[in-house]
Amino acid sequence: MSDTIDRAGRLSSDHWTTNAGVVARGVPSLEEWASEHFRAEYLFDDGDLIVHLFPEASGSGESFQEWMGRALEQTAPDYFRMVRPQLEAEYIKALDSYWLCAKGAGNSADPAARARRFLERLEARLSGGGA
């Protein structure tokens, strides 16, 4: 998969798949999600969950890279029950955003619900509710 980031800051590639199959002509079928602290776009590619996270609020004087990076480290490995190389995250400085890939996380009975539960858990952690 050769990913690039388009002008709108969305992940794009020549070939994306969803749980239902191939999306026409490489146009990603992005689901959007928003909360108090961040907004997210996610999709599934060959059974992998790809999430792109953007800031919505500041984290008490810290940069998005710091507070979201910490929240991802504290939430994602436990939620997905995986570590590198199956779980990868990278900060994208040019967009002040994070990209996360959970390999195989789309291979579940309801992958969209699993993705939303992860985002809800991440927001709960950022809101001080642990997770």
* Ordered structural domains, the chain, with CATH: 4-126 (3.30.1460)
pLDDT tens for 83-131 read 999 999 999 999 999 999 999 999 989 999 999 999 999 999 999 876 5
Residue 57: its pLDDT value, please?
73
Q: Which three-class secondary structure state does DSSP give residue 64?
A: helix
41: helix, strand or coil: strand
H-assigned helices in the chain = 64-80, 111-126
Q: In sequence order, what are the residues at sequence separation of 6 or more whose Cβ sits closer than 8 angstroms to the Cβ of residue 10?
A: 28, 30, 41, 52
Q: What is the pTM of this model?
A: 0.76
**pLDDT at residue 58 in the model:** 65
d(CA 125, CA 86) in angstroms, rounded, equals 22
In degrees, rounded to 5, the angle at the alpha carbon of residue 53 between the alpha carbons of residues 77 and 85 is: 35
Per-residue pLDDT tens digits for 48-70:
999 999 999 765 678 999 999 99
pLDDT of res. 29: 73
